[in-house]
Structure 1
């Protein structure tokens, strides 16, 4: 009995490895029993005490938690108030009658949030400059990057047809996140076709195949839409029904060519402003001539606002455009954007291995560890000039834009700020990383990655967030 007591006493004196602290994630660890690969770590920032860990150095797919790396690298590179600029330029002469004798060029500045509102402001400023007609073409230049090679199945398939907006292709001259928008409104009477028009122009800038029928009041609205590419260009095929008393609905679908989408949209706006472009619109990968003069320009949103939108809505188009902008040389691709982020992370001590093939996380080859994500989060916490903008881009579950986040107790919902990541192919991925505050006000970081395999069952967010909420609530209450 004495020997047994001595043995137990000696064991109690040995340091506990973080790899053995899975009891901190007692509920989350149950997913491992079903065959899922888990990497998790939660630790306090003041003492660096590890409150729980499950294989924290395991390299796994982070999915859209990749965007936290992108946000940190972008803030480090530009600072929170940086704005991207889009310009209208020309090397042609403008005569006394308002005729521009040559081409008008939109110099795509890589603004991830360039919108039709921005294009309209450019149009108005061009009109204020005195331009009334263009005796040439409207040329949309995507010389910085674009068209960018697709390296994910979703984006490659989206060139010919797509039923979503998140697979948008990439260009430094893309508008509205690279997606067409159409508005569906009831027709004049039940049984009549609905009214389907472009959101951004009175003129038809994208083909519309309207198969929507107007139904009597309160019949319900059910709409389906797919953007296809045919010999005449992009066509929005919209089907279903809309109630006679229903409000208009907007539908977004990725375009086959973001720069051409910008060209057609801007051309229509110029026409509405009374500026004739005699030879139509085209796109180019050539840089505008060095002799070009600026005729109009518009500045985009500050970077801190871009990151809020990128992170909250997990916008793949915006994230990948920001990563491409990090590359110093023109004609960047997604791999170079990922390498630019890797270079930034290489300056963070003790991060460990990192592999990024994109800034969005849409690429399933991205790899990092829970410990690595927490190291990134800790490094940003200690940068007071950047941390407010960085942490503001995360979401508390109780205020989550995505409904699946609104789970767990009040403590979990309002003491935690997270970025989540989701992939379903080739395997299921549910990941998250972010900050928490304990009951006593201490800051902590938490990262969890759950990756499926070819033999694991389907994984939904409830299966990850519900047990995590219990584990993390206990850590918050006990510290």
Structure 2
């Protein structure tokens, strides 16, 4: 009898211990009653004191919280000041008249933030090198990676059509985040078609199907845009209306082939600079010849600046491009990029399992736990040379660029830095991970992963962030 009482007492104490831990997420935990799966944990970094937990080792989808793993792995590999280089190379040299007797090759360096501004500097440096005419082709080489196999629905659909920019396809020779940009302005008078140009050129580089009509002042502006592929060419299909007194609107849509987009864009820029290319432009997966010499080069922005954009704007093109760069062999794919991050995570003490099929989190197969994500955050906290560049990529609810995080009390808004993740298909995912500071100045880490299923109701951000803010505020105030 005494043995049974002892077992009952031990079982009761275990339940009480779990209740004490879970009580730290008393508000968030109510989502479990609606059928949502939760993995949550909050703990102090010094002393490793757990303030609350709900199934902290449960493996769930982190969505774009994956990008925190990518950021940490990239900083570990290259350091905050690393820059990716894009080059124009050739086996030939320009003669005294500026004639280049051979192909001009763009060696795509995998810069995830290469823009037309960078390309213009590259073209100007080619002009400085004396090149005035290419007696050959412009070849865009994506030998490092590209075209990368699409493994998510949005990206696969983008090969034929796209009504967004976040599903951009991937290449080591991409420009403008793999998306076309066009500018729509009102026509001269009501009834006229709108005026459409490229965002960086007087004429649009891709084909335009313009059905936007100009309306009188203050009539309202409603624009719809879809990039479609017709007979092997990208076409931007525009419809709607724009008021005569409206400002020009920029529209971004994923291209069907980032390397081809690069070829068309660079060819147009060479023409503007007075550098003729006799045989047009093409793309290739071949590495530039071993004897090719550099005619012009441009370095991208430092990694720490790239990561600000990756994390603050949750840029999927940039995140997956960085993950592909982590792969040391050519012809990388998304899974290899994920495995490179997993290899980095394997060195984090007490992390536990992690499965990553992408660096962006767009892939629904990604899995980690709240305890694992917190182990990542804690490990970066203890790396003084990397932590400043890592923590600055997280957003404060008080002034973050994502307006939906601006909620909760003053305590939550000013004592927390976080990264969010969102998926809606095939199930709802709302994930949050980051750091907090207690009233006494102690550092803590927290992660909350909430996953739905086919029968759970719609999950809004207010459903997750509002209760989480209340729970974290209590932890911050009492420690």
**Same topology, TM > 0.5:** yes
Find the aligned partners of 1:60 and 1:469 in 2 and give their Cα distance.
Answer: 21
**Post-superposition shift, 1:200?**
2.2
- 1:406 is matched with 406
CA contact (8 A) 1:334 1:358 kept: yes
Secondary structure of 1:399's aligned partner = coil
Q: What runs of 5+ residues in structure 1 fail to find an aligned partner? A: 1-5
- 1:445 is matched with 445
Pick closer, same or farther for the CA change 1:421–1:19 going to 2, 3 Å.
farther
Find the aligned partners of 2:106 and 2:381 in 1 and give their Cα distance.
Answer: 39
Residue 69, structure 1, aligned to residue 44, structure 2? no
Residue 113, structure 1, aligned to residue 113, structure 2? yes
- 2:3 is matched with none
Secondary structure of 1:425's aligned partner = coil
Deviates more, 1:191-200 or 1:98-107: 191-200
- 1:425 is matched with 425
The within-5 A match list for 1:240-389 is 240-389=240-389
Find the aligned partners of 2:290 and 2:14 in 1 and give their Cα distance.
Answer: 69
Residue 207, structure 1, aligned to residue 168, structure 2? no
**Post-superposition shift, 1:18?**
5.1
- 1:169 is matched with 169
TM-score, L = length of structure 1: 0.97
**Post-superposition shift, 1:409?**
1.1
- 1:38 is matched with 38
- 1:122 is matched with 122
- 1:150 is matched with 150
TM-score, L = length of structure 2: 0.97
Secondary structure of 1:73's aligned partner = helix
Deviations 1:153-199 (CA, angstroms, capped at 9, x unpaired): 11001100010000000000000000000000010011111101111
Please report the RMSD computed on the Cα atoms of aligned residues, expressed in angstroms: 1.7
- 1:59 is matched with 59
Find the aligned partners of 2:388 and 2:42 in 1 and give their Cα distance.
Answer: 21
**Post-superposition shift, 1:13?**
7.8
Find the aligned partners of 1:13 and 1:459 in 2 and give their Cα distance.
Answer: 34
Pick closer, same or farther for the CA change 1:310–1:19 going to 2, 3 Å.
farther
Residue 239, structure 1, aligned to residue 232, structure 2? no
Structure 1 residue ranges (4+ consecutive) displaced by more than 6 angstroms after TM superposition: 6-15
Secondary structure of 2:114's aligned partner = coil
CA contact (8 A) 2:182 2:204 kept: no
**Post-superposition shift, 1:7?**
12
**Post-superposition shift, 1:461?**
0.4
Residue 223, structure 1, aligned to residue 219, structure 2? no
CA contact (8 A) 2:189 2:214 kept: yes
CA contact (8 A) 2:59 2:368 kept: yes
Find the aligned partners of 1:184 and 1:38 in 2 and give their Cα distance.
Answer: 44
CA contact (8 A) 1:200 1:265 kept: no
- 1:3 is matched with none
Secondary structure of 1:432's aligned partner = strand
**Post-superposition shift, 1:202?**
2.7
Find the aligned partners of 1:68 and 1:39 in 2 and give their Cα distance.
Answer: 17
Q: How many residues align?
A: 474
Find the aligned partners of 1:401 and 1:410 in 2 and give their Cα distance.
Answer: 17
**Post-superposition shift, 1:221?**
1.0
